[in-house]
Chains A and B, each alone.
Chain A
């Protein structure tokens, strides 16, 4: 096979016939993150069956999400949308009493043009529970972008200058946040956006505190009432590469200043992320170099395993660029980075770091394939025979049966992969198929198809 030895990344776009999860899957992690929320997915049986199957056992734990399942009468407008939604939301209020109900619009609500944004404020007043609308549908978005749509909608509800009317709860939060901000006057307020497990947000917050930077708040917070204060003096920084709409909303609607940095995935990414924030606030990073090399030291056993090995990202969750950049730094050769959607502006710093990393590690620049075509990709995988394919579950078993090592990509969205502390977890995932197959290698059963 031929390598592309030019020094620039090259971008391609294919047909978009690829497998990924529907963006409504974001309710799976967001309802757990925002503890007083209730997610109502307004869609059909198809959506419901997806959630039920993709999220497996979680459904049995009485989750705070449900389907508003559209029936024939809803589609043909024999039933009144507003009345129907009111009935369901009152039922939810009675049974669960959430602080916020988040409506997830789906493909069906798009096609029948159900005016969710129009109905929400009216119903909100009537039932006295905030209703946030996010259009996380498969017509426009892929998988993790669902979170992006929800956070973009929540960004509008954060307390701050009276762009929107403030509820009483938010007023209280406003003063609370304000007092927090007053504690650290030597830099402007910093709000981080992206949903991460609480342990990880704590880790990242502490990491910045070591640099004398206080995080004023997270979007989203643990509860709806704790949404951070936003205004034009607030700096914001993303922790995940799929949050471009949220970033845009924060900049345009809330006038915040965006810090464009690589994402804190892998020790290299985390260092670059912290450095960029420090630089923005004119602070000299303290002990970062040592911290990074200490982490790399701890990864040595895994690095030996993957150095020089090749990897192919089929692409389905938008974490691909950051992961590829980290794996390139680990010494892996990246054949292809498939990605559903590439926001070159939001990911600019990450792309620059990827380019720099490939250059420094003296490995070929990977091709970045936006809207990939899975059929073509499988042909390329056959040709390249990569040591590892990072792919969705639909292709994992068939590829394994053909002797290709695979890692299920969705695990990267559910595992803790951010910050210095969790770098090992990423490699734990990446090396798992290699370690497993080391044990099985000598049995001679790598190809298991006729």
Chain B
């Protein structure tokens, strides 16, 4: 047993449902007790979905416990088949139902004999994988099922398209800015003269999965979902895939170079994208110019902390360090299952690495390092609020405000613009910063109760307290903590102005 207040990644079935409901005309039936269908609420609210979420529950209740759920599950599948005639029905076990250890595979087999839809059982272990791993697995499972089916029926399309083409794998519902990223990737491929063959799972039809091998190569924009599918297709059809994340100027450039290499190899033509990369980098993307502008100078050496899923945390770390000259004190991820990849990615771009899915550890790390800005999930935003440190949200888990209506990709060249804005707006603006320091700040609210560290052991004299209040709000907590740390080291309990200055001098800050 584990005492838990909050989690970064959801349970496995959420991943399966996200993939299932991203496809068109695929229905998921959860084998779950009443109330476990809150996925529908999340999708309907966060994504502001106009359509009914194609997920229903085959409810596990006392009767089911008593006599087994075979009849009910089979009936529910048959019913859904009749009502909505989906192409595919995915039976999804939940943590509760998996303890019952019923032979769901057998139910699926029975139901599939009578239904016109295809029926499969999502094959994920609820106690071993999380939402993201399950999504990756389910996507591969669906693709494999339809490739094999097409093979059997001799309708598999293996001849390549005439022009270079690519599949985009891993765009799906409730993904962080996925819709915008997808549009940006399509635009990028279009610029390069590459056709988009299929985008899966979002908006894709399972009946088109037989066309996947027609593409020249696969693109997996996110580390978390799609790799298993890409590897399966590579093994099966010798299709190369690109897993470089096109986030930030440098990596987007590298991503394009990889495309160049694949096309050159396949077509024996010598295609060069260098000029395109150069044009986009210097003029379409404002990020390169921004890093050079005097505004960005003020960010030099400022401390930041990055935490999120593997994809976004690794890419942000590289962008901050390599492209903006910001010092990343700590980069971390909650994707423990992919820790090695993450470490390798951020090596040399940050002072330390934190791999944890415990938000209190992240909070403690932030309190200890006292960065000027945080780039993290909604949880880090709240930690930042308590510590008076600004935070830009760069990764799931997120709230409804992170599903913006306007165009906000994180990938590609437009993505670099968005990221530059996000970073710049997160740090207190340079000039404002100076003015506040000179004039003692306009924010004189008391902050004592806000700090995480206990302040019981020190007594602040009136003058020193007043002095503290003159310090700009966003650094006040830090000054206070540094002073107390200094006092603690010296064994002093009453803090006077002299002590404050001495502390400042000793720290050189």
Interface string of A346-378 (1 = CB under 8 A from B): 000000000000000000000000000001001
Determine how close the nearest CB of chain B comes to the CB of A100; give it in whole angstroms: 17
The answer to whether B83 touches A59, judged by C-beta atoms less than 8 angstroms apart, is: no
Known contacts A16-B61, A44-B95, A112-B99, A137 near B33 by CB under 8 Å:
yes
Chain A residues numbered 1-32 whose CB sits less than 8 Å from any CB in chain B: 16-17, 19-25
Question: Does A449 sit within 8 A of B, measured CB to CB?
Answer: yes
Chain A interface: which of B2-10, B303-311, B329-337? B2-10
Question: Does A74 sit within 8 A of B, measured CB to CB?
Answer: yes
Choose among B3, B60, B65, B94 the residue with the greatest number of A CB atoms under 10 Å from its CB. Answer: B3
Q: Which residues of A contact B65 (CB under 8 A)?
A: 110-111, 139
Choose among B4, B38, B95, B382 the residue with the greatest number of A CB atoms under 10 Å from its CB. Answer: B38
Question: Does B44 sit within 8 A of A, measured CB to CB?
Answer: yes
Choose among A24, A60, A75 the residue with the greatest number of B CB atoms under 10 Å from its CB. Answer: A60
Question: Does B116 sit within 8 A of A, measured CB to CB?
Answer: no
Determine how close the nearest CB of chain B comes to the CB of A389; give it in whole angstroms: 13
Question: Does B128 sit within 8 A of A, measured CB to CB?
Answer: yes
Chain B residues numbered 22-72 whose CB sits less than 8 Å from any CB in chain A: 32-38, 40-42, 44-45, 48-53, 56-62, 65
Closest chain B residue, CB of each to CB of A23:
B35
The answer to whether A52 touches B38, judged by C-beta atoms less than 8 angstroms apart, is: no
Question: Does B127 sit within 8 A of A, measured CB to CB?
Answer: yes
Q: How far is the CA of A33 from the CA of B375 in the complex (A)?
A: 35
The answer to whether B127 touches A46, judged by C-beta atoms less than 8 angstroms apart, is: no
The answer to whether B48 touches A397, judged by C-beta atoms less than 8 angstroms apart, is: yes
The answer to whether B33 touches A53, judged by C-beta atoms less than 8 angstroms apart, is: no
The answer to whether A17 touches B96, judged by C-beta atoms less than 8 angstroms apart, is: no
The answer to whether A67 touches B3, judged by C-beta atoms less than 8 angstroms apart, is: yes
Interface string of A170-182 (1 = CB under 8 A from B): 0000000000000
The answer to whether A448 touches B50, judged by C-beta atoms less than 8 angstroms apart, is: yes
Q: How far is the CA of A48 from the CA of B204 in the complex (A)?
A: 31
Determine how close the nearest CB of chain B comes to the CB of A398; give it in whole angstroms: 5
Q: Which residues of A contact B11 (CB under 8 A)?
A: 44-46, 49
The answer to whether A393 touches B45, judged by C-beta atoms less than 8 angstroms apart, is: yes
Chain B interface: which of A83-91, A204-212, A224-232, A412-420? A83-91
How many residues of chain B have a CB within 8 Å of chain A?
Answer: 51
Question: Does B14 sit within 8 A of A, measured CB to CB?
Answer: yes
The answer to whether B41 touches A108, judged by C-beta atoms less than 8 angstroms apart, is: no
Partner of A48, one of B7, B34, B53, B379: B7
Question: Does A298 sit within 8 A of B, measured CB to CB?
Answer: no
Determine how close the nearest CB of chain A comes to the CB of B309; give it in whole angstroms: 16
Determine how close the nearest CB of chain B comes to the CB of A150; give it in whole angstroms: 16
Determine how close the nearest CB of chain A comes to the CB of B362; give it in whole angstroms: 13
Choose among B11, B58, B60 the residue with the greatest number of A CB atoms under 10 Å from its CB. Answer: B11
The answer to whether B34 touches A138, judged by C-beta atoms less than 8 angstroms apart, is: yes
Interface string of A384-414 (1 = CB under 8 A from B): 0000000011111110010000000000000
The answer to whether B5 touches A66, judged by C-beta atoms less than 8 angstroms apart, is: yes
Q: How far is the CA of A434 from the CA of B4 in the complex (A)?
A: 42
The answer to whether B61 touches A139, judged by C-beta atoms less than 8 angstroms apart, is: yes
Determine how close the nearest CB of chain A comes to the CB of B187; give it in whole angstroms: 24
Question: Does B18 sit within 8 A of A, measured CB to CB?
Answer: no
Q: Which residues of B contact A117 (CB under 8 A)?
A: none
Closest chain A residue, CB of each to CB of B131:
A49
Q: How far is the CA of A16 from the CA of B56 in the complex (A)?
A: 12
The answer to whether A139 touches B44, judged by C-beta atoms less than 8 angstroms apart, is: no
The answer to whether B99 touches A75, judged by C-beta atoms less than 8 angstroms apart, is: yes
Question: Does A294 sit within 8 A of B, measured CB to CB?
Answer: no
Q: Which residues of A contact B40 (CB under 8 A)?
A: 19, 393-394
- A interface residue count range (under 10 / 10 to 19 / 20 to 34 / 35 or more): 35 or more
The answer to whether A45 touches B100, judged by C-beta atoms less than 8 angstroms apart, is: no
Known contacts A59-B6, A139-B61, A398-B49, A21 near B1 by CB under 8 Å:
no
Known contacts A21-B38, A60-B382, A108 near B95 by CB under 8 Å:
yes
Known contacts A17-B56, A48-B4, A59-B5, A111 near B35 by CB under 8 Å:
no
Q: Which residues of A contact B382 (CB under 8 A)?
A: 57, 60
Q: Which residues of A contact B42 (CB under 8 A)?
A: 53
Q: Which residues of B contact A140 (CB under 8 A)?
A: 61-62
Q: Which residues of B contact A68 (CB under 8 A)?
A: 1-4
Q: How far is the CA of A59 from the CA of B399 in the complex (A)?
A: 13
The answer to whether A20 touches B52, judged by C-beta atoms less than 8 angstroms apart, is: no
Q: Which residues of B contact A375 (CB under 8 A)?
A: 56, 83
Q: How far is the CA of A139 from the CA of B34 in the complex (A)?
A: 6
Closest chain B residue, CB of each to CB of A146:
B35
Chain A residues numbered 276-307 whose CB sits less than 8 Å from any CB in chain B: none
Question: Does B13 sit within 8 A of A, measured CB to CB?
Answer: yes
The answer to whether B127 touches A75, judged by C-beta atoms less than 8 angstroms apart, is: yes
The answer to whether B6 touches A392, judged by C-beta atoms less than 8 angstroms apart, is: no
Known contacts A66-B5, A375-B83, A397 near B35 by CB under 8 Å:
no
Question: Does A142 sit within 8 A of B, measured CB to CB?
Answer: yes
Q: Which residues of A contact B45 (CB under 8 A)?
A: 393, 397
Known contacts A17-B59, A111-B100, A393-B45, A71 near B36 by CB under 8 Å:
no
Partner of A50, one of B35, B48, B53, B379: B35
Chain B residues numbered 110-130 whose CB sits less than 8 Å from any CB in chain A: 126-128, 130
Q: How far is the CA of A88 from the CA of B4 in the complex (A)?
A: 10
Partner of A22, one of B5, B38, B49, B95: B38
Q: How far is the CA of A24 from the CA of B32 in the complex (A)?
A: 15
Question: Does A127 sit within 8 A of B, measured CB to CB?
Answer: no
Q: Which residues of B contact A124 (CB under 8 A)?
A: none
Known contacts A84-B1, A393-B41, A398 near B62 by CB under 8 Å:
no
Q: How far is the CA of A448 from the CA of B62 in the complex (A)?
A: 40
Determine how close the nearest CB of chain B comes to the CB of A69; give it in whole angstroms: 4
Choose among B1, B35, B60 the residue with the greatest number of A CB atoms under 10 Å from its CB. Answer: B35
Question: Does A143 sit within 8 A of B, measured CB to CB?
Answer: yes
Question: Does A79 sit within 8 A of B, measured CB to CB?
Answer: yes
The answer to whether B41 touches A392, judged by C-beta atoms less than 8 angstroms apart, is: yes
Partner of A394, one of B7, B14, B53, B94: B53
Q: Which residues of B contact A71 (CB under 8 A)?
A: 1-2, 127
Question: Does A72 sit within 8 A of B, measured CB to CB?
Answer: yes
Q: Which residues of B contact A22 (CB under 8 A)?
A: 33-36, 38
Question: Does A54 sit within 8 A of B, measured CB to CB?
Answer: yes
Partner of B1, one of A49, A60, A85: A85
Known contacts A139-B60, A140-B61, A69 near B41 by CB under 8 Å:
no
Beyond A107-B33, A395-B52, 9 additional pairs, beta carbon < 8 A: A25-B35, A68-B4, A88-B3, A112-B99, A138-B32, A138-B96, A139-B60, A394-B41, A397-B50
Binding site for A on B (CB under 8 A): 1-7, 10-11, 13-14, 32-38, 40-42, 44-45, 48-53, 56-62, 65, 76, 83, 94-96, 99-100, 126-128, 130, 379, 382, 399
Q: List 14 A-B contacts (CB under 8 A).
A: A19-B41, A22-B34, A46-B11, A54-B38, A59-B5, A59-B6, A69-B1, A70-B1, A139-B33, A139-B60, A140-B61, A397-B44, A397-B45, A401-B51
* Smallest CB-CB A-B distances: 8 pairs: A22-B35, A138-B33, A394-B40, A401-B50, A45-B11, A44-B95, A84-B1, A72-B127
